[in-house]
Chain A
Amino acid sequence: MTRSISQDNAVSSSRMTRALIYAVLLVFVFYYLLPLYVMVANSFKPLDEIRGGDLMALPKVWTLAPWASAWSSAQIGVEPTGLKPYFINSILIVVPAVFLSTVFGALNGYVLTKWRFKGDGIVFGMMLLSCFIPFQIVLIPAAKVLGFLGLAGTLKGLILIHFSAGIGFSTLFFRNYYAAFPTELIKAAQIDGASFFQIFRRILLPSSAPIIVVTVIWQFTNQWNDFLFGASFSGFGTTPMTVALNNLVNSSTGVKEYNVHFAGAILAALPTLLVYIVAGKYFVRGLMAGAVKG
């Protein structure tokens, strides 16, 4: 944690209390790590050991075979490709969708706080409410619309659908962040003759880094882990990671190789895990800087 954000809220306390605090924190470290431990431990076991043994135990025989299989040789559909080729599809979908929903979220937040107009409250309300719609509801009509636009089964279609699912949250994050931004600066710039986009670029954007991190993390996580849209609206050659993972683990009457499944699950989660670990520091800072302000 960097200096700038660790404030001195800490209340002075005895050694006893501090020991207790560390103990409690440690207990929760175990709570959060336990399922991951189950997955990791079993991903290094041969299948026989899983079938017969204690799933909490460490492997008696360590093997890397499940990892290799999940990455590059497991049967996914008719092709024994492993998860490897599907990574690129996910990236091709998620990167533009995250980019678009962040850019438009920022602009929307800017408009809704600094260029308010009659009825902006209703517009924001409607966008906020859209966050609560279960995706299953929109599946069939979305298929109709994508088909009508000629986007069924394409990357563009998937990007559009992810954009529509994510824009509500992006707008919420940026709106709350920009609400705290002093309007006087904007007014002054306007008087100086700066245009709508100039103000956004020169005044708001430079100080938006924290909230951009928050939005990107949020959108990236949700879109990377999406299964429903990916399964329904992808076509041959555009299938994302999660659909491939599901194909690997959920084959109903096939033999279940749990070690490969767990290895695959961890592989599939690596990009998001990486984002969390690398950007985690900025994440709290970003949240602090505005996302959590009402």
Chain B
Amino acid sequence: MNRLQQWLPRLVLAPSFFVILVFVYAFILYTGYLSFTDSRMLPSYGWVGFENYTKLFALRHWNTALVNLAIFGVLYIGICSVLGLFLAILLDQKIRGEGFIRPIYLYPMALSFIVTGTAWKWFLDPGIGIENTFHNLGWTSFHFDWIKDRNYAIYTVVIAAVWQSSGFVMAMFLAGLRGVDNEIIKAAQIDGASPARIYRKIIIPMMRPVFLSAFVVLAHLAIKAYDLVIALTGGGPGRATEVPATFMYSYTFTRNQMGVGASSAIIMMIMVFSIIIPYLYSELKSGDNR
């Protein structure tokens, strides 16, 4: 009986761990193996060494994709965090109608981008969207055609992505703010600290765990950004908004170059892990010491 009690926790954990082990880690190993093969339309197992990797890095669009992920990831995570925190602070000022505003900020997360993408695409289109509307209203010098400009199109992807997730991040921060012990704040107010100073010096530093959670959620969404790009720009103009997820999909499934697709997946994963593992490690470690 005691024996069982001792092993039970591990037994309970086992199914989930096993599923993860197979469906994630074994599959990554398999993809890793494919990246060294001559797979084209379907997996095949002729060994070609590093050829796919050589091809990959010779492709101009792969570099574009990496640069875009960096731009997108930094801006998206940064803006969502800052905006989320900002809105949460405002909403935490005993706002009348909070129950009305909050779901409005939150709802975009509930929508699939298959069609919201179309709404955004129209909205950002200079011919029929916001620019046109302002022109009709008489503000003819208004100019907003980023989605058509290959140097700026990636930023429109950021705008739509921020729209989708910043409300969710706001909710996380709002929860964090509500969890702050107000005795501390009262004490600071008695000491004569200004509101801005209280937020800067006391409350925001206490949000550290929220930043971690927000980072995990946002980083995961940034890496997986696929639907968004496909719906909004289709990777264009030209291939200017290609990101690794779309690159991987197109080489694996539409271009019948599965080997190259697999190698791009592996490179992408190595990069993602090399950023995320140290971050999670340090954060979780400090969490344990609490």
Which A residues lie at the B interface, using CB under 8 A? Answer: 1, 5-13, 18, 21-22, 24-25, 28-29, 31-36, 38-39, 54-56, 104-105, 107-108, 110-112, 115, 117, 121, 123, 125-142, 145, 160-161, 163-165, 167-168, 171-172, 176, 179, 195-196, 221, 224-225, 227, 242, 245-246, 249-250, 258, 261-262, 264-265, 268-269, 272-273, 275-277, 280-281, 283-289, 291-294
Contacts and interface: CB of A to CB of B under 8 A. Distances in A.
Contact of A21 (B90, B120, B198): B90
Residue of A21, A34, A284, A293 with highest tally of chain B CB at under 10 A:
A284
A250 B213 CA distance: 35
Contact of A13 (B102, B110, B171, B195): B195
A186 B91 CA distance: 37
A147 B175 CA distance: 43
Contacts of A287: 171-172, 174-176
Given A7-B180, A55-B122, A280-B106, A292 B175 contact: yes
Interface of B: 5, 8-10, 12-13, 15-17, 19-28, 30-31, 43, 87, 90-95, 98-99, 101-112, 114-116, 118-120, 122-123, 128-130, 132-133, 136, 163, 167, 171-180, 182, 185, 189, 195, 198-199, 203, 208-210, 212-214, 216, 219-220, 223-224, 226-227, 244-245, 248-249, 252, 258, 265, 268-269, 272-273, 276-277, 280-281, 283-284, 286-287, 290
B23 A283 contact: no
A107 B10 CA distance: 10
A268 B87 CA distance: 28
Mostly helix, strand, loop or mixed at chain B's interface? helix
Contacts of B105: 28-29, 32
Contact of B269 (A28, A33, A133, A273): A133
A273 B110 CA distance: 6
Contacts of A54: 128, 132-133, 136
A34 B248 CA distance: 32
A124 B286 CA distance: 16
A137 to B, nearest CB: 5
B171 A126 contact: no
Contacts of B98: 1
Enumerate the 10 nearest inter-chain pairs by beta-carbon distance, A residue then B residue, closest first.
A265-B115, A294-B209, A288-B175, A11-B195, A287-B175, A115-B9, A272-B110, A164-B23, A225-B112, A294-B287
